[in-house]
Structure 1
């Protein structure tokens, strides 16, 4: 029997690198400014007359806006076309970057960075993943996702160096202004990349689902953000409305807010299932969440971003607040993490067409865990440069290997009709993890610092009893993350004698280190929990597998 020549698949032509270059540039600036904000914390606190906790809130709100509205942004791509929405999102994002660059105070920074940039990113990020599917296939798609992960790594990695140099030599504001210029350059060549095909079915916006998903996710992350101020269970402070402190049944409001958020999310899923059953257009068809590789890919994405964002919040605090390094020195110290993340993302992307994601991601998580353990032993009053560098290389390399595969796992687990929904879920997991990382690990740092001060004051004998009681009362509602010099000044202003200032400062320094170690230990726990998830990823190279529902 003869072979039909038309049935023999010809080798796929090599796709142009222009689309991935454009998409990688957009991904780079999406990540860059978060790391710049982290490394410029000390200078932003001075320039805007604010606190580290306020900057932490800005970082968390930025990623929270993205997590809460990512599914809505994904649906906008269905309504108007992915490439067009990518362009609109970049314009919004560039506008927010410019407003951030000229911010005179934290209120304007919240508006420009946390909200306007956040809403711009909501439109951009889902379109990136979908447009890769539209422009590449097979091994080329695996490589493209590796490059996109490398761009994410470059933004996360080079951000501290770029931001550190700009902050030290000029101002952190220049980085945000430069982002607006990059946006313009990307927009000039945007029409030269292929657009994703649009469905013949006229899609409608699910406004109820958009509100429910945003409220549910927002309640959960906002509650976790405020744990350092309000406490997890016992109230260390309280939500105050109209002068009345809200402490339900004598407990912190945090667990009640988290429960309310989860209840709303459950209601959202029920409502979406109802729309799907009626043949209407849900914001998210919950049936897609039952796809095993998609579930595990989303879990890995959220976990890796939680660790990455939390680490990038913790490390500048240690390097700048504890060790007294400036922003540029901080960027240089974080450079090994950056380089390892970029290089291993690229290597992982090239391996993706030959080696199973399970193998690569599991190896990455193991290397990451080892790096966090080394880092945990490095948090001391004086920097051990060699040990710190080893920790950065291991952590960056591990994250790079894992991230190089996760995007391809998620997008390859669905057919082309569900690609935009999967990209929206990927963006949601990515930014929900980032917002949880900054909020959760940051709150653990503050709680550890506060409890450390309180515990030491209870047993310290170098301070008079009345002084210990005064300090205990003053720190009961939470302790700010400040430098040693600032702590000494606050204690002097409180009327303590020089000897008492020295003793109280020593207590604060010890508690601050313990808080940092506790926060990093949490990152190690998260990495350990990611191992069984990694073991459930596909056990064959994705270029050899057809996506479910795909031809």
Structure 2
């Protein structure tokens, strides 16, 4: 039978469970306003239950379901990057149309995270997670069955909607369901899935394209979705906010969603359409941007600032009147959430943007297949999973904030080592050690960051907090990818001097450099067919390695900024209930 836990005194979550309510689990945690007055529990105090499941042995099945759902969305994005050339050849996409296949997903996903997190609080986090899994699986099948540009873009938009429902609801379920010591482990596993699976995507994508058609890169999400849904229905209790019955702030949701969509569009497409003046025509359906003096991305960025500022003012006004809001801005008064969100944004600027450029470098300059390049990058995933296991133990001794900092130190060391290992001569094996170190850093950092951000957030607000935290990371990734892409293109300028040093005329050297910039390096292999092709390849390889080294160093710089900002974080325990703190852990 089904039972629920109500805590009317604090308005905390209603939790639907299979079985009978265990006495004592419905006791409310101290509110943030009074928690400082609470005495520290003695060492002999009974330990909190490890989850809200009546049988704690089932908690790992619950965590497995959440991890599967998140993994499918992360794999989808990395695999689709690998599959784009095959999709373009099969359907006949132009370069602009191929760009929209990925951009449509990214825009939809990033702009809806905040709203979906709030909806999860209102109608049930498990319900939103399940609906997201269903939408994502069905739309993945839709992508595989498409044969026109309009169809595949529409299916990718649907995928973005599903993914935006999965990520914040899964994180808020971890925050709401797990308790005590296992809460820290659950956060670590959830975070490591994001880090490790991101690196495994190119390998899996290369394997699928090597042995099957590109459609299977998306069809694989269907059985994964079915398994995730079955595990979720059987092992995960529902969790929702019981206090707020006023419904969704529709006006706030529209302003936030449209504002974020315009912001992400402006960031990821600025270099293509122009940051100020229009470089090329934007055409969506039957509509066309006709203003040359102002680019569509510049207009989008200005409109996004207006909408986001209006959203903040609107939310503040509704909060003062005691009405429901899409996002409670007062959450930023919670130190761990405020600075955790900031660190997440900063780290995302440099954490994974360099991997896409590295994959292209391995395939273009070293001549690796997509599968071989993916195998090299998969060593980062191995490091991430090793790092996650070590991070749990390290966190128990030194606390999660110091574990996060140690992770970022590993990341910086790995990326800098990687930057100086990228030479024009093929030596993929030399990249493995720095990638493993980089991966260990990812395992340390991502396993702690989400947990730190939500460690002091009241459980009934975990959905909207998860949505905001995920939005900040998506925004950071978009900005980072744009900046690193611009850095890579600027770095290609070294090709000109590398060629002239080898006796190539300045005119030819400049033409080769512009070809590399126009194709983001993918035009490298075509140089061999030109007169004096061997020399052109040598000079271009030198310029390419200089460009990607510069991009890697910029990425390391972003993470260093995040490391500095991490010293603003409290070293709270992830084992405590949401909305409580345990103070600084004892130093080892």
| TM-score scaled by length of structure 1 | 0.86
Partner in structure 1 of residue 191 of structure 2: 149
1:214 partnered with 2:257? yes
Contact 1:301 1:403 in 2 (8 A): no
Instruction: Select 1:295's aligned residue among 323, 328, 338.
Output: 338
Q: Where does residue 516 of structure 1 map in the other structure?
A: 548
Greater mean alpha carbon deviation, residues 511-520 or residues 471-480 = 471-480
- How much does 1:288 deviate? 1.2
Aligned partner of 2:437 in structure 1 is 394
Residue 70 of structure 1 corresponds to 113
Partner of 2:30: none
Aligned length: 530
**Is 1:101–1:177's contact at 8 Å kept on the other side of the alignment?**
yes
| Aligned residues: CA RMSD | 3.4
Residue 189 of structure 1: which of 231, 242, 247 is its match? 231
Among residues 563, 566, 570, which one is paired with 1:531 in the alignment? 563
Distance (whole Å) between structure 1 residues aligned to residue 94 and residue 229 of structure 2: 36
Describe the superposition over 1:463-517 as per-residue Cα deviations: whole angstroms up to 9, x where unpaired.
Answer: 486x789x4998699455324333556xx6xxxxx34x66766665544434323
The Cα of 1:146 is off from its aligned counterpart by 0.8
User: What aligned pairs does 1:335-414 form with structure 2 within 5 A after superposition?
Assistant: 335-414=378-457
- Name the CA shift for 1:294/1:221 in 2 (closer, same or farther; >3 Å): same
Say yes or no: does 1:315 pair with 2:363: no
More helix by share: 1
- Of 213-222 and 337-346, deviating more is 213-222
Change (3 A) 1:375 1:327: same
Deviation at 1:33, TM superposition (A): 1.5
1:543 paired residue among 569, 575, 579 = 575
Q: TM-score, normalised by structure 2?
A: 0.81
Q: How far is the alpha carbon of 1:398 from its aligned partner?
A: 0.7
Would you say the 8 A contact 2:278–2:291 is kept in 1? no
Query: Is the contact made by 1:97 and 1:112 (CA closer than 8 Å) also made in structure 2?
Result: yes
Residue 413 of structure 1 deviates from its aligned partner by: 2.0
Map 1:38-437 onto structure 2 (within 5 A): 38-50=81-93, 58-104=101-147, 106-113=149-156, 115-192=157-234, 193-232=236-275, 242=288, 244-248=290-294, 254=297, 257-437=300-480
Inter-CA distance 326–109: structure 2 relative to 1 (3 Å threshold): farther
Secondary structure, counterpart of 1:247 in structure 2: coil
Measured in 2, the distance between the counterparts of 1:228 and 1:352 equals 41
Distance in 2 of aligned mates of 1:106 and 1:516: 32
Which stretch of structure 1 is more off in the superposition, 435-444 or 116-125?
435-444
Q: Which one of the candidate residues 481, 487, 490 is aligned to 2:521? A: 481
Q: Any idea what SS the aligned residue of 1:535 has?
A: helix
* Cα distance change on mapping 1:315 and 1:104 into 2, 3 Å: farther
State the match for 1:495 in structure 2: none
Q: Structure 2: where are the runs of 5+ without partners?
A: 1-26, 28-40, 51-55, 583-588
Distance in 2 (alpha carbons) for counterparts of 1:383 and 1:456 = 18
Deviation track 1:401-431 (CA, whole Å, cap 9, x = no partner) reads 0111111112212112221211111221232
Q: 2:134 and 2:572 mapped to 1: Cα distance?
A: 40
Query: Which whole-Å CA distance do the structure 2 matches of 1:203 and 1:444 have between them?
Result: 48
Task: Please state how far the C-alpha of 1:532 moved relative to its aligned partner.
Answer: 1.3
Instruction: Say if 2:348 and 2:477, in contact at 8 Å, map to a contact too.
Output: yes
Aligned mates of 1:170, 1:476 — CA distance in 2: 30
Change over 3 Å in CA distance of 1:480–1:368 after alignment to 2 = closer
